[in-house]
A and B are shown apart, each in its own frame.
Chain A
Amino acid sequence: MENESIVFHGNLQQLLAKVETGEMIPKLQASHAPMCKFFTAYYVISGIRHVVPLVHGPTGCPLYMSDFVRTRECCEMRGVPLEPTACTTLDESHIIYGGEGKLLEAVKEAYAKYHPDLIVILSCCCSGIIGDDVESIAREAEKQVGCRVLALRSEGFGGDFRSGYEDAFKLIMELMDPPQKKMKGTINILGARWGPSPTEFNWDMDEIERLLSEIGIKVNAIIAGGCTVEQIRHAREVELNASWCYDWGQKLGDLMQEKFGVPYSRTGQPYGPEATKEWLLGVAKPLGMEEKALEVIEREMKEVEPDLAYLRQALAGKTAIIEISEFPGPIRALSLARMAKEFGARPVVINVHPYTIKERMPSIKYILETGLNPEIILTKGLFRLGSFRSSKETEDELEAIVRMYDNVIFFGNSGRFPPCPVVNLTLMNPAFQPQYGFKGIRNIAALVRQALENKDLPRSRLFRGMLYGTGKR
């Protein structure tokens, strides 16, 4: 059963233990470089409408945001108007003499130019190291302009990518006013990024909103996926906070519960019928809308019953090898493992990087508490120098692992060429989105059907050669 490329084979609990003791933290410094704290903080802040994210640093830091997040993701793909990506453009003289004076002027200038509802100063490596006091400047500047001015210490070296999200969500809490009333049957959805439009995958959020609306639940704000400062101000007036992904909402949800007493519904990603039911009831029950939710669930389940029957029949007795190499992270892989198990398959998750387990420790622990503890395999290729995506070594290892099992189906994306049916769960093909909720069940059933019915069709020599070279067929 073992092969020499496997460096870990056990379950999630055992992997977590190795990560916690430091045994499984990648030794190679150069492998696996996700975004820095600054990037992720920026993502969250830019999800508020009419905000000026004012980057206190040189021009390199905001440019990725300007090109990729603002122009492509927001303006081109999500119908968001062009919003500013402002920068103080620090140079050598500011590094030597400090940039606080320029920052104060920049805030005033940003207000005059853009008339925003909010200005958030984001420090980066330079301003952090030279010790510019961004918080004091924010307080001083706020007296001189007509909107709130907040500061966020988001130096790229200052934490892992997750800390940027969390610190930004925490900062947003400063905008929340004491509640004047309770908004009956209303929730906030927490943890959205890549705004100012709902979260990174609109289709999934659309499905969640559709189901909530069927039950009669209203959404005050998606924080921070295109919400307004006004909605954030009223965020404490809702009855409940929820998130489409336990992991992303967790920090803000816990903090709002602890500080403001707003309960937070702890549920995982709604992949498959059980997780979807759990998600909806997790929101509806505390609002006293369980009965209506059950009605909706029953109706929706009836509609997808043929798909559910197909998935049960198609997956029963199979080994589902699950790999998420696109937007890699363990949570989606684990949600898929849960769904595969529900349909009668034996899930085996491969190559979730220990770094990502470390970054999501609280969520992983919660998932274990819910009873999900799938088999995990990590291979040598995961720890090589450079990027582990599109790596020939991990492809070869995946193929070898698939050969170790009988009756295998692969849940991943079409960039892999294992000798078994491939369920293409890429998030880059809108034709089969959403994957969440009841519409998601239909799409996943369609993807499984494609995989099984077309398993004998030839795979693309062209794409394989493109990804992994022509050394091996």
Chain B
Amino acid sequence: MGPENGEEPAGRRVPSPESCTDPYLRCAFNGAAQTALGVLGCALLAHSPQGCEYLVNNAFASQECDYMETVTLCTKLCVDEIVHGGEDILARTIREAKDLPISALFVISACGPEIVGDDIVAVCETLQPEVKFRLIPIPSPGFRGSQYDGIDIALDTILKRLAKKRGEKIPGSVCLIAPHANANPTWPADLTWVKQTLSRMGIPVIATLTHKTPLSEIENIASAETSLLLSHDAGQKAADYLFAAYGIEQICKGIPLPIGMTNTQRWLAALGERFGAQKTAEGMVAEGEKMVMATCRRKMPMARFLYRTPAAIVADATVGIPLVRFVTEEMEMTPELVALYTSQRTVRELLDKELKDLGLNPKVVYGTDVYKTRAGLREVRPKVIFGSTIERHASEGLPVAYVVEVVRIMRQFRMINREYFGYTGILNLFECVQNEWTMAWRSKEKRYEAKW
């Protein structure tokens, strides 16, 4: 079975040819908000009607902001501002916020004001002398694309406006790009694992774009020697820009992110090789694999009983592509459907390479939506789905035994962030399978009543 959509250019997300879709991804405005809210000590002003504030709230939660530290504001545009323009109300709101103890105010604009031509850049330039903090306008209307396009738009603005033109290179250093373009609902744990790994290898992190990132880190990003992209869905443009503007070399390019033993080993080896830390990398691999095997020996994951069970993977490319190998190799299931939210050429190339390498030929759907996923599930009829709560409901009526919720989880709550990257990540994914296995076996009703 081959892929469902045609060829698309690299780095650009071509809209679906369908007229009617049931999308998984939010809009560019949401992605821009998610990126801006990853900068520490700042506030965000949505120049939008009040409904768009909910997309900001979602971004706020995704970046794990604290409402005692981060303020979000909204101009709440109504008909008057759409007819007569909303620049005055934007200026008024910025003035109202002038006493906020922040170092920057990101002003992001939604569809309405962008269509009617509000010039948020000009308003910010005019108001800049009146406020103590920096004003950073990011025109990011929803119609510019998906949340991943919004992440790219915001990263572009942030880098061009905030990064100093040059900085003394710090040898063997790295900057991290787009950790938040990751459908693991507790993705900050993936970022933490990456930072701990780099620290063990003695690799300094100059900046993270973006998660709890101080402005000073972004200002000094030119000092980084290398960049590490933590998403297959967004951030490639930022990596390309950093290379073009500052000669920052992108590393670990073209290999899946470190989910599962082989992917982690490969990713760590690439890092070790680039930074002359092969021995440390090998040690981490040996130690990590030993820990995973020893833990599994004690806990006995039930995934081992699912040998060659037909599986579907429905996720973003960041989690979905590495899962293909993890599900096939480590869990010994057989992916028969891979449906990814995105469809750019880099995603296709990476997945194609993985499928060829593994000798798999599943049905592949790029840029999937809920309808296409359901159609794919109907056609392939997998027994296990690695996906979200949506697939649990989209697979009703089909003989699916387990829906392992790994992305966009609504059924289970996580108080502690759990990574999918690295060795503990393997155990976390096994745990997801185990809990689903347990629930599938759980008695739905009692056969008789007890006497007491």
Contacts and interface: CB of A to CB of B under 8 A. Distances in A.
A69 to B, nearest CB: 11
A58 B16 CA distance: 12
B50 A34 contact: yes
B76 A82 contact: no
A62 B78 CA distance: 20
B393 A105 contact: no
A105 B115 CA distance: 24
Interface in A454-472: 469
A58 B27 contact: yes
B145 interface: yes
B58 A87 contact: no
- Among B26, B141, B408, max chain A CB count under 10 A is at B26
Contacts of B112: 125-126, 129, 156-157
A339 B63 CA distance: 42
Contacts of B93: 29-30
B216 interface: no
A60 B145 CA distance: 9
Interface stretch (A12-20, A106-114, A249-257, A275-283): A106-114
A141 to B, nearest CB: 11
B49 A36 contact: yes
A76 B410 contact: yes
Interface in A20-61: 28-30, 33-39, 54, 57-61
A213 interface: no
A158 interface: yes
A109 B50 contact: no
Interface stretch (A234-242, A298-306, A385-393, A408-416): A385-393
Contact of B371 (A84, A89, A95, A105): A84
A87 B143 contact: no
A106 B19 CA distance: 5
Nearest to A112: B20
A426 interface: no
B367 to A, nearest CB: 11
Given A30-B96, A59-B25, A102 B72 contact: no
A92 interface: yes
Interface string B36-61: 00000000010001111111001000
Interface string A106-141: 110110010000000000111001100000000000
Interface in A58-95: 58-64, 66-67, 71-72, 75-76, 81-82, 84-92, 94-95
Contact of B76 (A33, A64, A103): A33
Interface in A149-176: 155-159, 161
Contact of B408 (A67, A85, A130, A157): A67
B100 to A, nearest CB: 7
Interface in B374-413: 389-390, 392-394, 396, 408, 410-411
A63 B116 CA distance: 24
A81 B53 CA distance: 28
A54 B19 CA distance: 11
A464 B175 CA distance: 38
A39 B52 CA distance: 10
Contacts of B116: 129
Contacts of B50: 33-36, 156, 161
B294 interface: no
Nearest to A157: B49
A29 B96 contact: yes
B81 interface: yes
A54 B18 CA distance: 13
A150 B76 CA distance: 28
Interface residues of A, number: 63
Given A60-B52, A126-B111, A386-B72, A30 B389 contact: no
A75 B45 CA distance: 33
Contacts of A38: 51
Contacts of A92: 143-144
Interface in A392-424: 392
A125 B394 CA distance: 29
B29 interface: yes
A87 B21 contact: yes
A460 to B, nearest CB: 16
B54 A64 contact: yes
Nearest to B27: A60
Contacts of B111: 57-58, 95, 124-126, 129
B393 A71 contact: yes
Contact of B51 (A29, A39, A54): A39
B19 A109 contact: yes
Interface in A230-248: none
Contacts of A90: 143
Nearest to B371: A113
A75 B393 contact: yes
Contacts of A34: 50
Nearest to A29: B93
A386 B67 CA distance: 9
Given A71-B393, A109-B20, A387-B67, A63 B26 contact: yes
B20 A106 contact: yes
B23 A30 contact: no
A95 B115 contact: yes
Nearest to A161: B50
Contact of A89 (B21, B51, B92): B21
Question: Which of A39, A71, A390 has the most chain B CB atoms inside 10 A of its CB?
Answer: A71
Interface in B188-229: none
A39 B394 CA distance: 23
Nearest to A389: B67
B334 interface: no
A92 B100 CA distance: 35
Contact of B16 (A60, A66, A89, A159): A89
A84 B52 contact: no
B414 to A, nearest CB: 15
A110 B18 CA distance: 10
Contacts of B51: 35-39, 61, 156
Nearest to B90: A29
B389 A76 contact: yes
27 contacts: A29-B74, A29-B89, A30-B76, A30-B96, A33-B53, A35-B51, A36-B49, A36-B51, A39-B51, A57-B142, A58-B111, A59-B26, A61-B142, A63-B23, A63-B27, A63-B30, A64-B58, A85-B22, A88-B21, A95-B115, A126-B115, A129-B115, A130-B115, A157-B49, A157-B78, A157-B79, A159-B79
The 7 closest A-B pairs by CB, nearest first: A36-B51, A60-B27, A58-B142, A105-B19, A30-B73, A82-B393, A156-B49
Given A129-B116, A386-B71, 6 more contacts: A64-B58, A66-B390, A87-B21, A95-B111, A159-B79, A385-B97
